[in-house]
Structure 1
Amino acid sequence: MVLSCQNVRKVFGDHVVLDDLTLDVAEHEVVALIGASGSGKSTLLRCVNLLAEIDDGTIHLDGEEITDPRADPDLVRQKIGLVFQSYNLFPHMTVLDNITLAPVRVHKRPAAEARDQAVQWLERVGLAGKADAYPDRLSGGQQQRVAIVRALVNSPRLLLLDEVTSALDPELVGEVLTMIRDLKGEGMTMVLATHEMGFAKQVADRVAFLEAGRVLEQGPPSQVLGDPVEARTRQFLSRIIEAGRL
């Protein structure tokens, strides 16, 4: 397994956000996390990337426990890319500088090497002409693609995507989803939290429905989204269907 979360528990004050959650992700697999707001999707991704410390349980990456207190978070994050719903690009830096900042400053890679790889990624996603542009000159979809490229320049073993289309205008969603679909075709292992049920159905190998910090139901998209077993999953999806999002 590339990722293995076992009995993970996370508490904020009196609120249990992740409650004995267990989830495995195999190599080249795409797992879509779905569920109502507050079900634990984003917190799980933050815990996997060590931005939030778990209170119990373990998380392993390629068989190594990354939640061991002795693990180096910077080394772990070189292997895990995380993209948020907000682009988090530095407005005073060009696209190329945004992408190469972490590889050069944090991971101490040669600047020329980092720039070459960044340019290659920008070419692959159709943004080669935007390397010297500033974020405010880009559309929301372009900014999000840059944010995804920034997460890919370290060739991560695992890519985490947290509602990456939710801040976009509807007409810009497609270009980001196309990029994610292309990454799946290239074998990228991904875990994505999403409200885009139609996209989850198309791109995910497995859908996991989270409820109250647990994986209540998981399986192939055709089963979980088309013929769910759990009553709570059916209730959640009925509301999604009413809203026209499935």
Structure 2
Amino acid sequence: MSLLNVQALRKTFGANVILDNFDLAVDSHECVTLIGASGSGKSTLLRCINLLEIVDDGQIFLDGEDITDPSVDADTVRARVGIVFQAFNLFPHMSVLNNITLAPRRVHGVGKDQAEHEAMEMLDRVGLRSKASARPDSLSGGQQQRVAIARALVNKPILMLFDEVTSALDPELVGEVLAMMKDLKSDGMTMVIATHEMGFAQQVSDRVVFLEGGCVAESGPPEQVLVDPVDPRTQQFLKRIIDAGRL
């Protein structure tokens, strides 16, 4: 069974259908990249998987468990499914260390010493141990995004979701965040990534999924979807990307 299995998912906001009978299966250690125009449903899908949005119909299975069951504890699921957004969402009045230890201590009941020890190990991993006592606004955008990734990883998730994590960064800072994600891929982390970075998608993905109108229009290896797409909608989308100089 796949680690993540999204079945016939439907999500609407008022009269707007965002996801329509959407299916997606992701195996353990697989990196799946979601591409598509703004409004195609990529971010909404990630928020549904992390239970930040309530689905209207369909089911989401994580490691065999139906996490859309109303009896499921959302905080328990979010400890297993990390999510990083394009906005860093760090608390500006807290140090980097306190940002990372907040959820383990307050939500998951981890003791202060253990939480800080694990947070420092994670800061080592993202190359920011020296910034533990710093406030977020003293860091570059790339550093803040790496702190956000560390905060998501400290709970030892089995699945990581990334929602356009480089969109808010200056171009010269994008590389350090993408390098961090490549390291996670090398470590075998299961990831679902929504991105407009087509070159990165080509390098890191096991599979690329093109969304159009809340549905899967095309799915396959990056060398097929990004280089030789079959669906005319994918062809048109990539032509716009190429014309804009982003592939």
Instruction: Report the counterpart of residue 246 of structure 2 in structure 1.
Output: 245
CA distance in 1, matches of 2:50, 2:126: 24
AA in 2 matched with 1:103: P
Correspondence for 2:134: 133
- Secondary structure at the residue paired with 2:127? coil
Once residues 70 and 125 of structure 2 are traced to their aligned partners in structure 1, the CA distance between those partners, rounded to angstroms, is 38
Deviation >4 Å, runs of 4+:
none
Could you tell me the percent identity over the aligned residues? Answer: 67
1:112: how far off?
A: 1.0
1:48 aligns with 2:41: no
In structure 2, C-alpha distance between the alignment counterparts of 1:50 and 1:124, rounded to whole Å: 27
TM-score, with length taken from structure 2: 0.99
Shift, 1:209, TM fit: 0.2
- How far is 1:125 from its partner? 1.3
Corresponding letter in the other structure for 2:35: I
Match of 1:62 in 2: 63
Shift of residue 110, structure 1, vs aligned partner? 1.2
CA distance in 2, matches of 1:163, 1:94: 24
User: Unaligned 5+ residue runs, structure 2?
Assistant: none
Residue 182 (structure 2) aligns with: 181
Cα displacement string for residues 144-189 of structure 1 (whole angstroms, at most 9, x for unaligned residues): 0000000000100100000000000000000000000000000000
1:30 paired residue number: 31
Shift, 1:52, TM fit: 0.2
Secondary structure of 2:117's aligned partner: helix
CA-CA distance at 1:228 after TM superposition:
0.5
After superposition, what is the alpha-carbon deviation per residue over 1:197-242, rounded to whole angstroms, capped at 9, x for unaligned? 0000001110000000011110000000000010000000000001
CA distance in structure 1 between the partners assigned to 2:12 and 2:38 by the alignment: 16
User: Equivalent residue of 1:67, what SS?
Assistant: coil
Unmatched 5+ stretches in structure 1: none
Aligned residue for 2:115, secondary structure, equals helix
What residue in structure 2 maps to residue 208 of structure 1? 209
Q: Which amino acid aligns with 1:204?
A: S
Equivalent position SS for 2:189: coil
**Secondary structure at the counterpart of residue 51 of structure 2:** coil
Q: How far apart are the structure 2 equivalents of 1:12 and 1:91? A: 31
Cα distance, 1:113 vs structure 2: 1.0
Aligned amino acid, residue 201 of structure 2: A
How far the C-alpha of 1:124 sits from its partner, in A, is 1.4
Q: Which amino acid aligns with 1:162?
A: D
Query: Could you tell me which amino acid in structure 1 is paired with residue 41 of structure 2?
Result: G
CA distance in structure 1 between the partners assigned to 2:3 and 2:145 by the alignment = 25
How far is 1:26 from its partner?
0.3
TM-score (norm 1): 0.99
Counterpart Cα distance in 2 of 1:174 and 1:121 = 19
1-structure distance, mates of 2:125, 2:145: 15
Counterpart in 1 of 2:172? Answer: 171
State how many pairs are aligned: 246
What root-mean-square deviation, in Å, do the aligned CA atoms of Structure 1 and Structure 2 show?
0.5
* 2:240 maps to amino acid: R
Give how far 1:244 is off.
Answer: 0.9
Residues 1:81 and 2:56 are matched in the alignment: no
